[in-house]
Amino acid sequence: MNLQTPQTGEAGATHTADATTAEESFAIQKEQAKFDSKAATELAMQNTLLTPRFYTTDFDELDAIDVSPVREDWDKLIAQMEADPNKGHFKKNEDWDHVDWDGMDPALRKEFIDFLISSCTAEFSGCVLYKEMKRRGSNADITQLFQLMARDEARHAGFINDALREAGVAVNLGFLTQKKKYTYFRPKFIYYATYLSEKIGYARYITIFRHLEEHPEHRFHPLFKWFREWCNDEFSHGEAFALLMKTDPKLTSGRNVLWIKFFLTAVYATMYVRDHQRPAFHKALGVDPDWYAHEVFTKTSELSKQIFPITLDIEHRKWQPTLVKLQRANVDLDAARKQGGVAGFVKKLGAQARAASAFATLYFIPAQKHQVPDSPRLEPAY
Ligand SMILES: [Fe+2]
Ligand SMILES: [Fe+2]
């Protein structure tokens, strides 16, 4: 629909080639797909500060949560999720336009595939964690919730993997489940990190969706058309974590507020640095990554007032310049790693120190305090 599908010389040659050449070309493509899928799975296996991780936690502690204090809101949310409004959504239909992967600008193709792999890993990471909780638990409320969330994340990851397959790439999700390293987080850290990742996920998807509604000429792939219903799933997941935190006031008060501030800073900073690694992708979308980050932070902060007593002061004079410093330190760190040797090592130490200092500056910007409402429940409004 909005996709330009110019015939490249290469594609034209394939159409007119004789049988042998076509077979050869197919064999090469198959080999290439195997390689790409191996490379994709390897990329998904990476555990750095910037790549999505798999988590494990103290499942017994999670299973012991009593949702009685939030029962009314809880039952409404579970009923909504059980009604499964997105049951038929994650399937390709006539809105799924043809994607000309061969004709795509190579820099864009590389960044977009990287974006899809990273998104697929993040979605699947949720699925693995939620499924494990469902498997290990005996608390009917908790297992029911995690079963519903695992259902959604499996659909999300599967749908992205479908899109990748068209590019000859597939992330081996079974292999990831068995072989990717699991990071242990105590339950309260899981609440903060997962709540934020669900809400920021909602904000990211809806911001792109609304932008492309206004600028359909930038919709270079059909996947973006699925984002509105998709982000409503993430919204509900975030709501569930807000209710879980609401069952215990200690989780969002006292010293834990410092942890909340840490997770807010880490999640925002990671998003900023990671998005700035994909200039061609954002250019194709017609999105300035600085504008996008600010939009997403504003929405996420507004939402997180439902449960967190603080938000980060993203309008503070030091906020944006320090994010830029952090991002530059990260670029230099990457270059130093690639350079290697003694000179690379020295540069690496310098870049790490600058990144740590930038992160500390962000963390120590005074936060804004809020009165948290009695009932956290919200509906998606963006
Ligand atoms: Fe998801
Ligand atoms: Fe989610």
Looking at the CA of 122, name the nearest ligand.
1
Are the C-beta atoms of 302 and 237 separated by less than 8 Å? no
C-alpha of 368 from chain center:
26
What is the 8-class DSSP label of residue 6? P
What is the 8-class DSSP label of residue 375? S
pLDDT tens, 152-166?
999 999 999 999 999
C-alpha of 96 from chain center:
22
Q: In the predicted model, what is the mean pLDDT of the chain?
A: 89
Q: From ligand 1's centre to the CA of 156, what distance in Å?
A: 5
Token pair recorded at residue 325: 């410093």
Task: Identify the bridge partners of residue 54 per DSSP, sorted by sequence position.
Answer: 182
Identify the residue with better confidence: 193 or 178. Answer: 193
Closest among 246, 255, 281 to 108, alpha carbons compared: 281
Q: From ligand 2's centre to the CA of 167, what distance in Å?
A: 25
Q: From ligand 2's centre to the CA of 319, what distance in Å?
A: 28
Considering 10-24, 40-54, 239-253, the range whose residues carry the highest mean pLDDT is 239-253
Looking at the CA of 237, name the nearest ligand.
2
Strand, coil or helix: 118: helix
Q: From ligand 2's centre to the CA of 215, what distance in Å?
A: 26
Are the C-beta atoms of 164 and 40 separated by less than 8 Å? yes
Task: Identify the bridge partners of residue 369 per DSSP, sorted by sequence position.
Answer: 310
pLDDT tens, 3-43?
322 322 323 333 333 344 445 544 544 454 555 677 777 77
Q: From ligand 1's centre to the CA of 164, what distance in Å?
A: 16
Q: From ligand 1's centre to the CA of 49, what distance in Å?
A: 20
Entry field: residues in the chain = 382
Q: From ligand 2's centre to the CA of 52, what distance in Å?
A: 13
As a whole number of angstroms, the longest Cα–Cα distance in the chain is: 73
What is the 8-class DSSP label of residue 48? S
